[in-house]
Structure 1
């Protein structure tokens, strides 16, 4: 197909309604500005913890570790000790690194552990209760980061979370809403209900104080003994005992054997910017870069944000990239990931050749092995310091409050990350992803993830730090933010605020947030064959832009850091360190 387009094109058809960008600008608050660094998280108390660490001389990695422990207390729906995740780092000296602390399947796990005698998936077995739990990786990951890249002692970094757990914190409406959403499941586990629900089983109210004394004791053991305070000793014994009593598979040996891993990040270029993101066992960086490779040949800026043509190109790039994601990628310790082929310019060109400019693709007709494809819930935080260190962390329990079980005597909520494996080829998981054999369950294997903690460089220096929760929608939400800044000229808060859409190959329909498409644009796209459905649960982007609030803009009042907290949930904040310049 031809890729020649007129530069003056701003709308696809004469009757198309183009978005007036000034309306979007007026709807967004300005990003939070600071001179000496920035912390953006999904819970304001955790943001405060990170900003204090920076103010006291810690680097971005110190702040990231302290925030990770704090979120386990104040954002229990996704912040965690009993889950896992990824950390993408770019240090001031130019070092780039990726820490994989994804959960692993227990040694007793089998490929068919969630199937009945007829080979059918047993509903709920991979999402609720102890059999859904993978071996947690968070503590090992944070400890590895501290040992290799931090500057402050462990006790200083864990101390704020101990105080928040022991003395408690006042719940705000956003905190309460998350508990209410899963209260019925929390009631089924007495240890969990005792922490998060009232004695009569009802959810707390805004203004109530949440105290977690068992979690405080678990954090104290970590502060004293590091990873051994979690993976060995009293905490490990209680985790293993609770798993056995609840029909789970995790043993003390599984915990003692767990290792976080240093991996090379996934890197690619887009319109002169350098993207550093998550490699397998995350699919995030691969799919993000594959989509960006496809889009780079399209004049998105000329087509315009919200236009039918730009939206169509983005949807089709997502559709094709998710075919590859769902069939070829898995834990690199177990499968060969064809990353070089998937990110090759020729592969992007073949996909563009299959994308019609005025016709939606047919998901059912796309499959691996056929040309051109031959061959919510989580939390994210972004941190930058004044010295040039930047950190993007995404970690998770998978679903809200994970498997909805807490190991008695620990205060530690446990993940339901085993659902991210392929329980049976062709059967959708919690997020509707239809996956293949590369992601089948095996002992010690890490399930494929969509987490996409990402750093973008401009002229060799940190420019953007971005990430989000949202299951399969993580990748496309990060994509939207990057494209909104680079192609559509938004400032970082506008880029985060802008309504989004998501396509993942299967199911066929594209999920669309309210106001993402004007009625005229939607009509055009439907005439081209696109099918739309209601939005899925909201993401929570945490993003930082460094240098100015927007590409091509000037710094405001001498500030270098601009933080954007997603308004879609009512709990997060962006904040810079308050440094006493008289010292």
Structure 2
């Protein structure tokens, strides 16, 4: 992200550019994703006359080939879309619990959670939503033919693309004794059983065949017919509970976005079953109460305030949020109101850390793997899309006949009714397992509008850290007027109420600040990095797109033309 060279804007917009992990400028459109080859696919669609939805769909299908750790057709996610007139909407294609699911399916006879059952077994696989969501978004807002958008991914899977070092590292892990599973051990091998080397072409014929059915038959190519039959067959043979009926019944839903504001900017983000939009707006409202003429960025007071805002939003998340089709009385208007934030802010002690009490949730405060892509087109439309398999490489299971990896998203449900622990396990009712219920998510695809037009499209992977990395990046741009690359690379922290600790990025928080925060009662834990943000801003005066891909993703790229 920190380029060694300074390029003039005139030079940047005269040609097509690919600066991996650097700020990129363009006049006609921009795509940022975790794989530069997939970003190139999206830009090629824009050049063909496609709009932001078209480019997002094509990029997402390409990531299912080039980024198997998170790009997917075996998982699910969310789209936030804003058109050139400032009208915003969202598409919910979060995975669903199968019809045979129950709220005690991960418990033993004594009602105790069976370790690993909700993450590391076929019972952890939710009904995939990605294909349905991309198809629905395209059907309503796309411009180019569906087949045109899926074909590049088929070509990449069939003809191959250069095996990169990230994939090589994963191959080394999954083919090592002790880490093997029948599917993952064979996944990164060629037709002769040899593990691929960097720069060798990786061809995925089974995935190409699955994508071809999706190209030719649309949504039905995945949820009915041959693919559905093979999914159900695999589930029955491996202890899963997804059936052909589960697949046939799955539908994506278009939902009204969560809307907030910050000092003249309009914020649009994902509503439940994502918790991201509610928490983001609540935290932005809290920060709007503070005086940043007196609180310097990255100071002890700043980090403390950010952590306290996060603590409160995550407590409210745990207490109130879940699938809106199963929870009809979630207090969304209250949680996202300015008055609620003012009351919450009044309870923040700027000299001491609050307490995270698992018995009181938000009442106390009164008074590994996902990927993201962002797109903006020359017509003024914007897409922010986040989708996931849950863990890196999801369940690490799949059918060799189909060529893609199944998610392990059922682990995002609260696994043990009524049991909330200080280690972060939540047991509240809104997010308990139920048939056809969508599990609560932290994905936070977000678009910020300025004067009725898309200004910023942003999102990130990172599990529960997603909410906080997106929040801090949005805040950096809106409050501190940071360039998108600087906002992405700046210090990020994470507090999720329980466990009661601040996770911070190593080397970006000074020793003096750490000591001061500990003296205030905070517990700190370091991590190499938080999130992998992919963002685009648009300057309506200069008519220039600026994109950046997080340097934590070495294969990522912001590409424009």
Instruction: Tell me the TM-score range normalised by the shorter chain.
Output: over 0.9
- Cα pair distance change 1:366/1:564, threshold 3 Å: farther
Residues 518-556 of structure 1 deviation map (CA, whole Å, 9 limit, x = unaligned): 1222222121111101227642100001108xxxxx84x
1:492 is matched with which residue?
Answer: 484
1:172-321 map, 5 Å: 172-180=164-172, 183=175, 188-197=180-189, 204-300=196-292, 302-321=294-313
1:44-443 map, 5 Å: 44-180=36-172, 183=175, 188-197=180-189, 204-300=196-292, 302-335=294-327, 336-364=329-357, 367-368=360-361, 370-372=363-365, 376-425=368-417, 432=424, 434-443=426-435
Is the 8 Å Cα contact of residues 104 and 136 (structure 1) preserved in structure 2? yes
CA distance in 2, matches of 1:181, 1:314: 37
Is the 8 Å Cα contact of residues 64 and 71 (structure 2) preserved in structure 1? yes
2:11 is matched with which residue?
Answer: none
SS at match of 1:314: helix
Q: In structure 1, which of residues 561, 564, 567 is the aligned counterpart of residue 545 of structure 2?
A: 561
Deviation at residue 485 of structure 1 after TM alignment: 1.3
Deviation at residue 517 of structure 1 after TM alignment: 1.5
CA distance in 2, matches of 1:30, 1:49: 19
Is the 8 Å Cα contact of residues 324 and 373 (structure 1) preserved in structure 2? no
SS at match of 2:80: strand
Which structure 1 residue ranges, 5 or more long, are not aligned?
Answer: 1-22, 549-553, 578-583
Residues 230-276 of structure 1 deviation map (CA, whole Å, 9 limit, x = unaligned): 00000000000001100000000000000000100110001211000
CA distance in 2, matches of 1:437, 1:503: 22
Deviation at residue 349 of structure 1 after TM alignment: 1.9
CA distance in 2, matches of 1:190, 1:537: 32
CA distance in 2, matches of 1:203, 1:378: 25
Q: Aligned pair count? A: 544
2:10 is matched with which residue?
Answer: none
- Cα pair distance change 1:501/1:178, threshold 3 Å: farther
Q: In structure 1, which of residues 572, 578, 582 is the aligned counterpart of residue 556 of structure 2?
A: 572
2:17 is matched with which residue?
Answer: none
CA distance in 2, matches of 1:112, 1:340: 32
Is the 8 Å Cα contact of residues 21 and 556 (structure 2) preserved in structure 1? no
Per the normalisation by structure 2, the TM-score is 0.92
Is the 8 Å Cα contact of residues 107 and 254 (structure 1) preserved in structure 2? yes
CA distance in 2, matches of 1:211, 1:244: 28
Deviation at residue 515 of structure 1 after TM alignment: 2.7
CA distance in 2, matches of 1:184, 1:201: 14
Residues 269-317 of structure 1 deviation map (CA, whole Å, 9 limit, x = unaligned): 0121100000000000000001111110112354221111111111100
Residues 290-349 of structure 1 deviation map (CA, whole Å, 9 limit, x = unaligned): 111111011235422111111111110000110000121000000132101212223212
SS at match of 2:240: coil
CA distance in 2, matches of 1:96, 1:268: 12
CA distance in 2, matches of 1:189, 1:267: 44
CA distance in 1, matches of 2:364, 2:525: 27
Is the 8 Å Cα contact of residues 419 and 428 (structure 2) preserved in structure 1? no
CA distance in 1, matches of 2:529, 2:464: 11
